[in-house]
Amino acid sequence: MAIEIFLKENSIDIFIENEIKKSGNDEKVLLSISEHLRNKIKSGKFPKLLENTIRQKYFSLGDNVRVAVRSSATAEDLPDASFAGQQETYLNVQGIESVLNGVRNCYASLWGNRAVSYRLHQGYDQSSVSIAVVIQEMVESEKAGVLFTVNPVSKKENETLINASYGLGESVVSGRVTADSYIVDKNGEIIEVAIGSKETQIIYAEKNTVEVAVCDNDRKKRALNDKEILELIKSCLNIEKHYKMPMDIEWAIKDDEVYILQARAITTLKHSIDSLSEDNLVQKYTKDKKINKSTRKMMSFLLEKMPFAYRVLDFDYFTAINDQKVNILSEVGIVLPRNPIIDDDGIQTFSDTGKRINKNIFKFFKILRNMKDFNSCYHKCKDFMRIYKSKIEKIKCLNFENMTLEECKNFIEDSYIFFTKISI
């Protein structure tokens, strides 16, 4: 591969072999080595034959053509893991020197902190990964996006899912905009359309790209018409037929012509199918059970605050808040059930125990008087805010991007403990 020739020319291959072995599985050491590697690669020189080949191929595209310089690593888009987006891509690159620079930077991105950490925790051999760089003539697309040849949400094989917005596809792929969403069956019949806000689009700048606002009229209407949707379906189903598997396809449209930019396997589909069995597991908890009024109110409150599935850390923080609410009410004699119960299947259920009153109810008016002592409450809050502001300033100075996994863990634990104090 070209990168191997480049590394050998600059004696970087020996550096990789020696230093990676020394690092073992020490993430901090590995990230430090990676920084040196990136610097060596970015300042490296191309062998004459390789440089001349790149020059020749670039000039064959035309005079000062705009290109995308895209990386494609050997560990990207495997059936059981997606490394996509961890290596660099450079859009609207013009001029041979800029192209050569882009190739070097793509090579260096193989050793970016995020990519190195991900490989480490996924168990991939750091010294065995490699990278190719693809130089593609740019399409100054009027609209672009992604098409999944199997609906990754419903898992229905007869449905496709299209995400679309204006300008270059980077705004959709990177998640910068809320794109339109189209569910279309494989015969081209539109089942559902959800018009996204599409606030901005990425377009050509004099150099590289720029993000600009989309006008209100375009934001409110569909990015794709029926004919464009049909053409996309035809093109993408041919790709699925060729690879004989569900595909995640990046596309662009210019002057009514569909361009396919990239195609890869849908790596999340297996996990989505696994979630079906999880749904079946939940059903045995809900079957023939009525939800009482207080539980409905609680669920409505939670769904309003967080209308999506809890992540583990989210749940821990909500637990901390709920614990304090329960403790405060307990002091005045009102006893509420504690946090949801979690069983061995990981299913969370609310306690059937209702509210009750204990002997602390006689302290209710005394505590109420204390709460009305605004001067005392003010000084307590003021003291705490001083500590809080100091802690926030320290957090602002942390370099999250270069944290090791152990440092991330320590930060999360410290912030959780601090958060419980805020809730008191």
**Residue bearing the bigger pLDDT, 83 or 347:** 347
For residue 373, the enclosing domain spans 278-423
Rounded to whole angstroms, the Cα distance separating 47 from 325 reads 67
Do both 319 and 417 map to the same domain? yes
Whether 293 has a pLDDT exceeding 80, the answer reads: no
Look up residue 343 and give its two tokens: 């069983």
**Residue bearing the bigger pLDDT, 149 or 269:** 149
pTM above 0.85, yes or no: no
Cβ proximity of 167 and 143 under 8 Å? yes
Dihedral sign (CA 134, 137, 142, 147): negative
Q: With respect to residue 121, please indicate whether it lies within any of the assigned structural domains.
A: yes
Look up residue 390 and give its two tokens: 């100091």
Lowest mean pLDDT among 228-237, 239-248, 363-372: 363-372
Q: At 148, which CATH number?
A: 3.30.470.20
pLDDT value of position 335: 80
Cβ proximity of 177 and 211 under 8 Å? no
Q: With respect to residue 273, please indicate whether it lies within any of the assigned structural domains.
A: no
Q: With respect to residue 271, please indicate whether it lies within any of the assigned structural domains.
A: no
Do both 417 and 285 map to the same domain? yes
Please report, as a single letter, which amino acid is at residue 358: N
Q: With respect to residue 371, please indicate whether it lies within any of the assigned structural domains.
A: yes
Band (249; pLDDT cuts 50, 70, 90):
very high
What value does the mean pLDDT of the chain take?
84
Q: Write out pLDDT tens, residues 174-225.
A: 888 999 999 999 999 999 999 999 999 999 988 889 999 999 999 999 999 9
DSSP β-bridge partners for residue 200? 213
Environment class of 224 (CB within 10 Å of its CB; exposed 0-12, middle 13-18, buried 19+): buried
Counted domains in the chain = 3
Half-sphere exposure of 418 (CA within 13 A, CB side): 16
**Listed ranges 150-154, 266-270, 318-322; the one with the highest mean pLDDT:** 150-154
